[in-house]
Amino acid sequence: MTKTAAIIGGGVIGGGWAARFVLNGWNVRVFDPDPEAERKIGEVMANARRSLPGLTDVALPDEGTLSFHGSIAEAVEGAEWIQESVPERLEIKHATFAQVQAACDAEAVIGSSTSGFKPSELQQGAARPGQIMVAHPFNPVYLLPLIELVPGEAGEAALIEKAKAVLASLGMHALHLKKEIDAHVADRFLEAVWREALWLVKDGIATTEEIDDAIRYGFGIRWAQMGLFETYRVAGGEAGMKHFMAQFGPALKWPWTKLMDVPEFTDELVDLIAGQSDAQSGHHSIRELERIRDNNLVTMMRGLKAQNWGAGALINAQEKMMRAGTALGAHADEVEADQPVLTARRTVPLDWTDYNGHMTESRYLQAFADATDRFMEMIGCDADYIAKGGSYFTAETHIRHLDEVHAGAVIEITTQVILGAGKKMHLFHEMREGARVLASGEHFLLHVSLDTRKPSPPSPAIEAALGRIAQGHAGLPRPEGLGRAIGGAR
């Protein structure tokens, strides 16, 4: 059953929330009195559609519907999640919450995107204070997974757990703060860095571009995958965090920073910073910068995904949830053996395309290799089995590139077992986008002992699972292209 979310306020943040929900299969109702709201959210949706689906190696659910409504009451009716993203003025938020709670379900989560107000301030005068909580995201909401979840002392336990479960299903991480504080946690770090950066520009120490270079070429990359404390633990070497603290702790007493002071925002300072920023990035439009940002984020997060670390580990967890209960999560004994097996349904990510604008040839092999891995898991050759010393090694591969495919395409791979007996496994993969055949991959594998690195029989359970599917597939028509050599007639 499709779930419904309501978005109150459709600016950059509200639009990002809408995209995150819609692309994960939720129906979304939007209320925003801005006559340009539909256009603005449409542009955010376009950016999200080209980037978010490619984060995962499992295709996201079919899109939900996006609709715009003339009143808050109409938008929130029946919604399970209501996200407020109106301007940062407390009186506006209080008036908004009053209208929301007059019309919404008592079991709905009401999240606020506020970057500064504490939940106790938001809950003042509310009909059901425990229903309202801070759910502070980061831009772009459709890609960055962190949500600072601050329910406050009035927070209802059941709604807090519901909020965590919903966010996890969207591929997000709920940082549940047990104690409220102005600006929560992450923005306090950002404010400190921003404050110091303003002084560095004002005092002529560095330009806006030089400061950005210091972050993106240095500690920013470390922070992206390990954060602050784990980065410093590594910096402490074998002696660990205690050594780091002993070595660098005294520096905290030195007058290195101006964190307690703020430079006056004079016209001269504003013009200086704006001018340097224009020189740095003014040759790109905002839409171009957003797409560049999204390309970089997808590539970095997919790199972390391969390492099952940081934001990448969240993507892997989301994929596991999406596979559960589907053909992609089935075991061999749950698979019908009278037809090819679905081993992949995924979106082609942004970083899989080449200079010709379509999927580069190495990614065809990766897609088929991933399908082989999925089939191995189905028959029991999973991580636990491999850890015990057995696996399949590919001995020969042949790929036919039949049609081009572009970033954002949803592709499916089905796998037919040509031979599955003893040490040998011969698979034929077919890649499609809808009815269009894109490529085929033929792969011959041998079961190997990881102790001797030589061919060996698989476990009886794997041999039986593979044999059952091979026997069923023996009655299927011979796949077109099977056994084709390079240069053979098509």
Annotated binding-site positions for NAD(+): 9-14
SS3 content of the chain, % helix, strand, coil (to 5): 45, 20, 35
Per-residue exposure over 316-344, b if at least 16 CB sit within 10 Å of its own CB, e if not: bebbeebbeeeebbbebeebebeebbbbb
Q: In what order do the strands lie in the sheet with 27-31?
A: 66-69, 27-31, 4-8, 81-84, 109-112, 132-136, 146-150, 173-176
How far, CA to CA in Å, does 478 sit from each of 74, 371, 419, 473, 484?
A: 56, 20, 12, 10, 12
What DSSP letter does each residue of 417-473 carry, written as one string?
EEEEETTEEEEEEEEEETTEEEEEEEEEEEEEETTTTEE----HHHHHHHHHHHHHH
Residue 490 and residue 478: Cα distance in Å, rounded? 15
Strands 81-84 and 146-150: unpaired
Q: What are phi and psi of 345, to 5 degrees?
A: -145, 105
Residues tagged in the binding site annotation: 9-14
Task: Give residue for tokens 């925002």.
Answer: 265
Cβ neighbours for 159, distance < 8 A, ≥ 6 positions apart: 107, 109, 130, 131, 133, 151
Strands 454-455 and 436-449: antiparallel
Residue 314 and residue 171: Cα distance in Å, rounded? 6
Q: Are the C-beta atoms of 422 and 456 separated by less than 8 Å?
A: no
Longest dimension (CA), the chain: 80
Q: Where are the alpha helices (DSSP H) in 203-239?
A: 208-214, 220-226, 229-235
Residue closest to 90 by CA, chosen among 72, 112, 74, 71: 112
Joined together, the tokens standing for residue 327 give 């053909």
